[in-house]
Amino acid sequence: MRTVRTVAELRSALAPARRDGLAIGLVPTMGALHEGHLSLIRRAAQECDLVVVSLFVNPAQFNERADLDRYPRREREDAALAARAGAELLFAPAVEEVYPPGFATSVEVLGGLAERLEGVSRGAEHFRGVATVVTKLLCMALPDVAYFGQKDAQQVLVIRRLVADLNLPVRVQALPTVREPDGLAMSSRNALLSPAERERARSLSAGLRAASELAADGERATEALLGAVREKMAELDVEPEYAALVDPDTLEPVERLTETALLAIAARIGDVRLIDNEILDPTTTTTTTPTHPGEAIATCSA
Ligand code: PAF
């Protein structure tokens, strides 16, 4: 696998494939690859002729300097993992390549989609940073398909919106969350947890599972479902930063589980902020929350 660092190198590496009409898949990442990323790369390799993985820790989407500074960086291991999963090209640009001097443009998805949930907790700059860098990566690589993880359900909605609104010629493919054996959603930030924090981190998936089971037993009141999340998380001494039951397409809060809804949560475990989500379906009578890696949670319909 080849590593390229400039947009010019990326475009010339992709030119023969484009000329031959081959399908190009892009998996945008910030590195510290885990099984969740690898599932995206493997799917891209199945569906496309050539897979590019981008590795760029995007400063514009971090609302806390400390979070950016301690974000795990391990390019050499990432390159080996990406190659093994089926990627041909690693695009690992420097910050100045993505944001050269004089850079003055940003992409912002307006309205509730970017303002709710993570938008409240992390501020408008977070999704502005994500939308801007993803738009740039799509323009740089011009892939046929771009792959994202459903763990970042709100990010997927924001990206689908900008792709539609800007008429970008790419298919956005979201794939299910991959989990550790105890249910913890895989995330690059998990590597920052101490052993004691790692134990408490399973409170997020445990909270989702508790609500999912209650819903499967027939509970429809949002307050009761969110109460089950909070109660379960409290057992591991974790208080959610938010726990919300929302429409899976608009992210507007729902009062009762009468249609498929997205249950989204965020919590701080020590200094590490984690998010997770699950789709609740009122027609389901058994819970789908997985406890094994590679198993899918029910996917968002968006
Ligand atoms: O999900 C991520 O890792 C990032 O938000 C992304 C999509 C690579 C943009 O920086």
Predicted confidence band of residue 287 (pLDDT cuts 50, 70, 90): low
Residue scoring higher pLDDT (248 or 289)? 248
Amino acid 103: pLDDT:
98
Percent of the chain at pLDDT above 70?
Answer: 94
pLDDT at 12 over 50: yes
pLDDT at 252 over 60: yes
Do residues 244 and 270 touch, judged by C-beta distance below 8 A?
Answer: no
Three-class secondary structure of residue 185 per DSSP = strand
295 Cα: distance to centroid of ligand 1 (angstroms): 22
Q: In which residue are the tokens 């198993």 written?
A: 295
58 Cα: distance to centroid of ligand 1 (angstroms): 8
Mean pLDDT of 43-54: 98
Q: Whose CA is nearest to atom 8 of ligand 1?
A: 29
pLDDT at 296 over 50: no
Among 232, 231, 229, smallest CA distance to 244 is for 229
Neighbours of 194 (CB within 10 A): 12
pLDDT at 181 over 50: yes
Q: Ligand 1: which of 37, 63, 133, 175 to mutate, most ligand atoms within 8 Å of CB?
A: 133
Query: What are all long-range contacts of 235-239, with beta carbons under 8 Å and residues at least 24 apart?
Result: 235/203, 235/206, 236/199, 236/200, 236/202, 236/203, 236/206, 237/200, 238/200, 238/203, 238/204, 238/267, 238/269, 239/267
Say if ligand 1 is within 6 A of residue 133 CB: yes
Say if ligand 1 is within 6 A of residue 134 CB: yes
Per-residue pLDDT tens digits for 121-164: 999 999 999 999 999 999 999 999 999 999 999 999 999 999 99
Do residues 265 and 183 touch, judged by C-beta distance below 8 A?
Answer: no
Look up the pTM and report it: 0.94
**Catalytic site positions:** 37
Per the prediction, the chain carries an average pLDDT of: 94
Mean pLDDT of 235-243: 98
29 Cα: distance to centroid of ligand 1 (angstroms): 5
283 Cα: distance to centroid of ligand 1 (angstroms): 33
Per-residue pLDDT tens digits for 79-130: 999 999 999 999 999 999 999 999 999 999 998 999 999 999 999 999 999 9
Amino acid 286: pLDDT:
64
Say if ligand 1 is within 6 A of residue 187 CB: no
Predicted confidence band of residue 284 (pLDDT cuts 50, 70, 90): confident
Say if ligand 1 is within 6 A of residue 130 CB: yes
pLDDT at 288 over 80: no
Say if ligand 1 is within 6 A of residue 275 CB: no
Predicted confidence band of residue 298 (pLDDT cuts 50, 70, 90): very low
pLDDT at 299 over 80: no
259 Cα: distance to centroid of ligand 1 (angstroms): 29
pLDDT at 293 over 90: no
